[in-house]
Structure 1
Amino acid sequence: MKIYCIGQYQFIPRQIMRKCAYGEIFDHKTRQISYVRRMGNGFYPRFHVYIDTTDNGFVVNLHLDQKKASYTGSHAHNAEYDGPRVEQEAKRIEMTIAQYKIG
């Protein structure tokens, strides 16, 4: 699920994701930074976010990781890109981000 954040904000996306209770992770294989928020004590399930910057803001790309890839060498995993839990989390993120919009 994509959340489009148009305009200027008091903080950079990295800081905003921290304010949304997401931790930053760095994938050494892909060299990508992303953000996760665990749903419980275990590593999975977890909400997973990638940020794309645009000329007029940024896009939060949200999905729910259900579990790690089930076989060696695979990057594929069980993920939900929509549904009630993802929609609820998207609303929570949108409300938090809105607090930091300028103007």
Structure 2
Amino acid sequence: MRLYLEDKTKTKNPAALLRQADYHQETDRKTGEVSFVKNIDGRDFPRFHIYAEEKEGGWQINLHLDQKRPSYSGTSAHAGEYDGEVIEKEAGRIKTIIPQLQILNG
């Protein structure tokens, strides 16, 4: 699921806000790509997974749910869900909490 978050305080630091929203940063060892994950029940999977990029005064967020680790070595294929009730609920939480965190940190 894609969503747009406005950078109201011009912090240009989605990583700090996402950490405060219970996500931790993860860097792909092969590509160096940075993303953010939130474990759901204390195990590695399932987990929410976010890619964020700066876009027009805010951030474009790509949110999905990783159900399990990639099956084959050397591949990025995984059992990811990009829509549905669980994703919509987490997207709603993010849309609510990030602006609140921006105000608190502003």
The TM-score with structure 2 as length reference comes to 0.87
Residue 89 of structure 1 and its aligned partner are, at CA, apart by 0.4
The structure with the greater share of residues assigned to strand is 1
Count the aligned residue pairs. Answer: 101
Residue in 2 that maps onto 1:62? 63
| 3-state SS of 2:92 partner | helix
Write the distance in 2 (CA, Å) between the matches of 1:10 and 1:92.
21
Q: Name the amino acid aligned to 2:3.
A: I
User: Runs of 4 or more off by more than 4 Å in structure 1?
Assistant: none
Q: Name the amino acid aligned to 2:76.
A: H
Residue 18 of structure 1 and its aligned partner are, at CA, apart by 0.7
Residue 47 of structure 1 and its aligned partner are, at CA, apart by 0.2
Write the distance in 2 (CA, Å) between the matches of 1:48 and 1:69.
13
Structure 2 unaligned blocks of 5 or more: none
The TM-score with structure 1 as length reference comes to 0.90
Write the distance in 2 (CA, Å) between the matches of 1:17 and 1:65.
17
Residue 28 of structure 1 and its aligned partner are, at CA, apart by 1.5
Write the distance in 2 (CA, Å) between the matches of 1:23 and 1:30.
18
Residue in 2 that maps onto 1:8? 8
Residue in 1 that maps onto 2:76? 75
Residue in 1 that maps onto 2:99? 98
Residue in 2 that maps onto 1:88? 89
Q: Name the amino acid aligned to 2:8.
A: Q
Structure 1 unaligned blocks of 5 or more: none
Write the distance in 2 (CA, Å) between the matches of 1:10 and 1:40.
33
The structure with the greater share of residues assigned to helix is 2
